[in-house]
């Protein structure tokens, strides 16, 4: 009977896959929320110059009622509902994936979506899911963004590339049963005389 050599780095159970994704998403969510808390408490009010970091990079506080990168002003509730859909799709997709990099990237994208979704739910705004997202990374040549935006965009692009060019290998199934020995063939086998 043959044996299947499996990659020990790949999560093999649904439970382990779930914990990996949840842990990654939680880490991104915590980093995103801590960075936003810092921005709200340490940076000057929206519209001010902000803090220079290096080159064209600034930390400049902005409150976004639209979608990622301070675009789509006023469409926050719609964007929040889309975030719910994205999280649901990623959970469904993760059920059939065993690739460690792909699972981590799913967690990164989910964590980013949850980070901005938390702002929609808990921060001040207008109506249901109308909270304003905190953006603070400003370059002058790119719309203002945050950690969650980066996780969604970079993680999503990397995940799409992996799925397209390095698809997940199917999980090996059990070894097939050995072929049964035909009755005529078994009678032709040599016997051992114990006398």
Q: Residue 14: CB partners within 8 Å, gap ≥ 6?
A: 95
135 given a catalytic annotation: yes
SS3 57: strand
184 given a catalytic annotation: no
Active-site residue identified among 32, 119, 126, 135: 135
DSSP one-letter code for 142? S
With beta carbons less than 8 A apart as the criterion, state whether 32 and 39 touch: no
**CA-based max dimension of the chain:** 103
* Cβ neighbours around 115 below 10 Å, total: 27
Active-site residue identified among 7, 32, 119, 149: 149
Active site residues per annotation = 135, 149
């Amino acid at each position: 009977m043959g044996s299947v050599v499996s990659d020990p780095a790949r999560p093999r159970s649904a439970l382990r896959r779930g914990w990996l994704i949840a842990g990654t998403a939680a880490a991104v969510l915590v980093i995103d929320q801590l960075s936003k808390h810092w921005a709200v408490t340490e940076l000057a009010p929206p519209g001010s110059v902000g803090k220079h970091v290096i080159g064209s990079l600034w930390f400049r506080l902005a409150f976004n009622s639209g979608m990622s990168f301070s675009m789509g002003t006023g469409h926050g509730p719609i964007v929040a509902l889309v975030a719910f859909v994205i999280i649901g799709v990623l959970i469904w997709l993760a059920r059939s994936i065993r690739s460690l990099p792909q699972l981590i990237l799913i967690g990164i994208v989910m964590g980013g979506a949850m980070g901005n979704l938390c702002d929609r739910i808990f921060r001040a705004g207008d109506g249901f899911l109308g909270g304003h997202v905190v953006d603070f990374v400003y370059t002058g040549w790119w719309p203002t963004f945050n950690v969650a935006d980066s996780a969604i965009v970079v993680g999503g692009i990397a995940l799409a590339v992996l799925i397209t060019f390095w698809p997940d290998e199917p999980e090996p199934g059990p070894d097939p049963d050995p072929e049964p020995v035909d009755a005529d063939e078994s009678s032709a086998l040599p016997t051992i005389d114990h006398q």
